Every structure is written in C-alpha cells, then in structure tokens.
C-alpha cells in the first residue's frame, strides 16, 4: 500500500468517525468540534485528489466561518437542550423511513457499480498541465461564468441586507446621529448667547 492510499484511509476513517460523533455527541459544543474535525479530514481528501482550491475553501469558509460562528452561537445562547429533545420520539418513524431510503440507495450503488477499464483510458483532463487548479478555476469563473458569479454575489448581498433588516431593533430613548440635521445647523441654532450680570451665575 502506497503513501497516498495510507493517507486516504486515514482521512476517510477519521472523517467517518467524526461525522458519526457529530450526531452521537450529547453536548452540542462537542458536536461542532467533531464537525470541524470532519471538515479538516474532508479537506485532506480534496488535497489527495489534487483539488487544493476546494480544500482551502472547505477550511476557510466552513471551518473558519460557519462552524466557528455556530460554535459561538451555541456557547453564547442559553439554550435549554432538554426542552428541545422533548417530543423526539414523535419523529422517529419519519427518520427511520428516510434512513431506510438512504440505505436502499447506498445498497443499489454498491451492488450495481461496475468499473469500466475503457472509461479510465478515455478520461480527459480539462486542466492544462502547465496551469494549477486554482488558476484554471479562476480563469473559467471570471471569464465564462462571470455573469453567474456576479449574480450569486448579488443574491448573497441581498440575503445579508435582509437578515440585518429583520434582526435590527430600534430602542426608544436612544439618541441617534442625524447627519442632515447636523449639516443644516447655522450659528443661530448652534449657539446661544446669554448676558450674565457681574457676580451671578447662569
């Protein structure tokens, strides 16, 4: 067994074990930590496939943003998980049906899978040999699919603005800055001159 195969079995085994622990851990903080470990091992599998861009995206976006954000939310919010687990048995039949469907699909894939030697010989490499994976993705993304890339960015921007608007709450009695009122001020409204007699205060 070569070094690449050994790393594949290492990453795949840890990935499966950590994915199982995500759903088996009782503490949600531990579940998130197991999820981060699963992301790192999935990134290792992408590196073995030569997809370093996907590996970095998985680490930077999912580990650095999604998983850590969820971890902070779980740690900061005082959630009563015992209350959330109430009524869990009501959804067991639905979960069992969905799990059985996935199991049947996996069995069909494993039992009907056939390796074709001709398919490996006819496989084409879309990336030139003198170009890295990241450079090839960037060339395709910013030339052929630039419109779809910009549209996806606009969709994410609208979603972010919508989330801010929905969660923004104005508190009564809080003084806020009004730039138009500040710019429209003149000396007559900005200052007040009072004549104070000698020996007396205001």
Rg for the chain (alpha carbons), in Å? 29
Residue 33 lies in a domain: yes
Q: Which of 12-16, 73-77, 165-169 has the lowest mean pLDDT?
A: 73-77
Q: Which structural domain range is residue 47 located in?
A: 1-80
Residue 164 lies in a domain: no
Contact between 55 and 46 under an 8 Å Cβ cutoff? The reply is: yes
Count Cβ neighbours within 10 Å for each residue of 64-100 and write b for 16 or more, e otherwise. Answer: eeebeebbeeeeeeeeeeeeeeeeeeeeeeeeeeeee
Residue 186's Cβ-count burial label (10 Å; 0-12, 13-18, 19+) is exposed
The 10s digit of each residue's pLDDT in 27-71 is: 777 888 888 899 999 999 998 888 888 888 888 888 877 777 777
Q: What is the pTM of this model?
A: 0.57
Query: What are the DSSP E strand ranges found in 8-95?
Result: none
The 10s digit of each residue's pLDDT in 152-169 is: 999 989 988 887 887 777
The 10s digit of each residue's pLDDT in 125-134 is: 566 667 777 7
Residue 96 lies in a domain: no
Q: CA geometry: angle at 173 spanning 172 and 178, to 5°?
A: 95
pLDDT band of 121, cuts 50, 70, 90:
low
Residue 39 lies in a domain: yes
Query: CATH number for the domain including 73?
Result: 1.20.120.1200
Residue 11 lies in a domain: yes
Q: What's the domain count of the chain?
A: 1
> What is the structure's pLDDT at 104?
92
Over residues 66-81, the mean pLDDT reads 70
């Amino acid at each position: 067994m070569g070094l690449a195969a050994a790393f594949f079995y290492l990453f795949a085994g840890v990935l499966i074990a950590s994915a199982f622990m995500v759903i088996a851990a009782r503490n949600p903080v531990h579940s998130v930590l197991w999820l981060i470990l699963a992301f790192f091992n999935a990134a290792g599998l992408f590196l073995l496939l030569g997809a370093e861009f996907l590996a970095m995206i998985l680490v930077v976006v999912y580990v650095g943003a999604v998983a850590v954000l969820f971890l902070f939310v779980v740690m900061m919010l005082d959630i009563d998980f015992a209350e959330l687990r109430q009524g869990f048995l009501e959804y067991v039949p639905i979960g069992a049906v969905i799990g059985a469907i996935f199991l049947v699909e996996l069995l069909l894939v494993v039992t009907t899978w056939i390796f074709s030697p001709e398919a490996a010989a006819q496989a084409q490499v879309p990336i030139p040999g003198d170009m890295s994976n990241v450079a090839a993705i960037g060339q395709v993304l910013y030339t052929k699919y630039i419109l779809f890339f910009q549209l996806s960015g606009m969709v994410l921007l609208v979603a972010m603005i919508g989330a801010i608007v929905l969660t923004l709450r104005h508190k009564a009695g809080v003084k806020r800055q009004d730039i138009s009122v500040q710019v429209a001020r003149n000396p007559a409204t900005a200052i007040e001159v009072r004549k104070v007699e000698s020996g007396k205060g205001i």
